[in-house]
Chains A and B, each alone.
Chain A
Amino acid sequence: MTDLSYPDVHHVQTPQESLELNRLGLWVFLASEVMFFGGIFAVYIIYRYLFPQAFAEASKYLDVTLGSINTAVLLTSSLTMALAVNAIQRGKQRRLVIFLVITIFLGLVFLGIKGLEYVHKINEGLFPGAMFVYEGTQPLQARVFFSLYFGMTGLHAVHMIIGILVMAILAFLAWRGRFSIESYVPVELTGLYWHFVDIVWIFLFPLLYLIDRA
């Protein structure tokens, strides 16, 4: 027996509708990510409000040059990710693989530079652990800054590692010809995630590196 009051039950989704619904679903996930990072950003804002001088002083220990290069690297990786999605939207499977591999490479460059910065900071004794050494005027308050620095950039790096692993799987599947002009939802969704990780860094960079440089 057919229930005529629900005419949409047998409605068949077009690929375009399916893509849009998947996109919406991923945005629900990203909204939860906004809250996840947002809570930590709120902690940062509160402590920066409470300890303005200590944060300004501690921020100068970070390397603006490496931070700037890394921001440019990440923005470039967002461009190549957008071009990867664009490639498969036009049915270019080979170009999709190439742009995914470039994006993975840029992601690894970012993590490499970040790792280099971590090593420098840890060697200078700025990791907020038992060996924390700080020459400035307010070591206890500066320690809060470095806890937030390592915490926020660390969580961001974890997101990047996840993104790189997903892209590696996508690149393999793309190489096997799994995606086409008709079916590329995973590529589009991974792109959304990668751009979101980029956005988090767009805010982290000025908040952590560019306080009171003048």
Chain B
Amino acid sequence: MEAHITPVRTYFLVYLALLLLLALTIGLAFVDLGFLNEVIAMTIAIIKATLVILYFMHVRGSSQLTKLFVFAGFFWLLILVSLTLTDYVTRPK
């Protein structure tokens, strides 16, 4: 099979990045940055998820159609969460 084979070195580099990001998210959680704590934690989680999707799940070397499905799946989630929140955020307390 003429598969697009990722070099093993790439997997170890991605793994190293994931572990460093994990250490970073744990460390920063114990530093008081106000509302930025939540923003940073979610940003790091999104970066980690993107690394897993692109490299471990081979989406980087996949067809345009597969990429579209991946994008759509997560984009729908964004719609689900943001439209739901428009209700709760705008309710009188």
Bound Cα distance A72, B18 (Å): 9
Residue of B nearest to A79 (CB): B15
Bound Cα distance A86, B44 (Å): 27
Given contacts A210-B41, A213-B29, contact A16 B52 (CB under 8 A): no
Q: Give the interface SS of chain B, mostly helix, strand, loop or mixed.
A: helix
Query: B50 to nearest A CB, angstroms?
Result: 9
Query: B81 to nearest A CB, angstroms?
Result: 5
- Pair A34/B76 contact, Cβ less than 8 Å: yes
Binding site for B on A (CB under 8 A): 14-16, 19-20, 23-24, 27-28, 30-31, 34-35, 38-39, 41-42, 45-46, 49-50, 64, 68, 71-72, 75-76, 78-79, 81-83, 86, 89-90, 181-184, 188, 191-192, 195-196, 198-199, 202-203, 205-207, 210, 212-214
Binding site for A on B (CB under 8 A): 1-3, 5-6, 8, 11-12, 14-15, 18-19, 22, 25-26, 29-33, 37, 41-42, 44-45, 48-49, 52-53, 55-58, 62-63, 65-66, 69-70, 72-74, 76-77, 80-81, 84-85, 88-89
